[in-house]
Amino acid sequence: MGGLTMDQAFVQAPEHGPKPTVTESTGIPIIDLSPLTADGAGGDDTAAAVDALAGEVGAASRDWGFFVVVGHGMAAETVARATAAQRAFFALPPERKAAVRRTEAEPLGYYESEHTKNVRDWKEVFDLVAREPPAPPPAAVADGEVVYANKWPEDLPGFRDVKRELFARREALEEYTNALEELALKLLELLARSLNLRPDRLHGFFKEHTTFFRLNHYPPCPRPEVVLGVGRHKDPGALTILYQDDVGGLDVRRRSDGEWVRVKCVPNSFVINVGDTMQVWSNDRYESAEHRVSVNSEKERFSMPYFFNPARDAIVEPLEELVSEENPPRYSAYSWGDYFSTKLNGNFKRLDVDNLQIADFRKS
């Protein structure tokens, strides 16, 4: 079971536990992004198509906080190589995975004891950053500064950057995250357009972004009626791009009635959700949606979320174009780096208090 052994730490409180049945949603929008990648793009027709896409993205972000994209331009072979590398890693013996285990001081690599809302998740993960920041000086590390350096299983094909003479090729996961960054920037521009901002308005927050990429493995669970793969939560960043296999298990809380509904598995798609940062930037025009992952007793499930996060030194607050005397800012400014570090610390262990939330910055 992926090295997981059932105990009380995994058990959800009855009011937050899984439901016996979860209905598959038919309302979460499916948006075709092909106008962004069409050959010969240009002219009035393309501009109108992009404006229409921005309208769809805006409506989905307002009504659901979630949507599914197809026609995204990501090559199927790129996704296939990444998923093959993912499955190869989680098939390793426990001691091999433990060799790249993450710690509080080095929070990238393998981990099988993550907590959400102070309850342990039924999953194992492998985390890496899309861009490694410069290593801090030894003195800073000695003083407790966190080291964000990717930990690669050195001898596993598909996990290292391999260059061969003139035909340099990026390894599977790095190729995949590079393609995801391109998609994330396109989505960011659509979100900006939907808020009547210039398309590149948000780009400046991501020049040295702190995006990280995760491989998730949810083994079959002996007690799926009381355990969740990931407990209820909202993502802290700007947006998340998720690839999921065809097993299913991602649930989102429907805004209209508060019920949990299952996100449909659509072939060759990505699931997108806006995060807390986008909620603050938009001054609550868009809302980060609560979601969770259900597990089952028969099938393992794999997913790969890409968390598109601002630069460490970014100050997050409602955008000046979206506030006025009639619509004042609803949040106080906060440091993304400090906020994100606090969120990460709460993933490692059970805390005595609830983790920091954007509600803590909401103005009264």
Cβ atoms within 10 Å, residue 276: 22
Whether the Cβ atoms of residue 185 and residue 193 lie closer than 8 Å to each other:
no
pLDDT of residue 46: 80
Give the residues across from 52 on adjacent strands.
Answer: none
Q: What is the pLDDT of residue 241?
A: 98
List all residues 6 or more positions away from 224 whose beta carbon is below 8 Å from its beta carbon: 18, 294, 295, 296, 297
pLDDT value of residue 142: 52
pLDDT score at 353:
55
Q: What's the per-residue H, E or C state across 67-127? A: EEEECCCCCHHHHHHHHHHHHHHHCCCHHHHHCCECCCCCCCEEECCCEECCEECCCEEEE
Handedness of CA 136, 98, 78, 236 (dihedral sign): negative
- Set out the domains of the chain in order of their start, with CATH numbers: 8-316+335-347 (2.60.120.330)
Judge contact between 145 and 137, C-beta under 8 A.
Answer: no
List of residues 6+ apart from 47 with CB closer than 8 A = none
pLDDT tens-digit profile, the chain (364 residues)? 567 999 999 999 999 999 888 999 989 999 999 998 765 445 667 889 999 999 999 999 999 999 999 999 999 999 998 898 899 889 988 988 998 998 888 888 999 999 998 899 999 999 988 877 766 666 555 555 677 788 877 656 566 543 332 222 347 888 899 999 999 999 999 999 999 999 999 999 999 899 989 999 999 999 999 999 999 999 999 999 999 999 999 999 999 999 999 999 999 999 999 999 999 999 999 999 999 999 999 999 999 999 999 999 999 999 999 999 999 999 999 999 889 887 776 555 555 556 778 999 999 8
Angle at 117 between CA 359 and CA 57, to 5 degrees: 55
Cα torsion through 248, 253, 256, 257, rounded to 10: 100
Cα dihedral 167, 173, 179, 181 sign: negative
Pair 116, 232: CB distance under 8 Å: yes
* Nearest C-alpha neighbor of 54 from the set 200, 191, 203: 191
Three-class DSSP category at 56: helix
Please tell me the predicted confidence (pLDDT) of residue 133. Answer: 73
Q: What is the pLDDT of residue 225?
A: 97
Rounded-to-integer distance, Cα 35 and Cα 55, Å? 14
Q: How many helices (H) and strands (E) does the chain have?
A: 8, 19
Q: Read off φ and ψ for residue 92, nearest 5 degrees.
A: -65, 155
* 8 A C-beta contact, residue 314 and residue 210: no
Q: Tell me what pLDDT residue 200 has.
A: 96
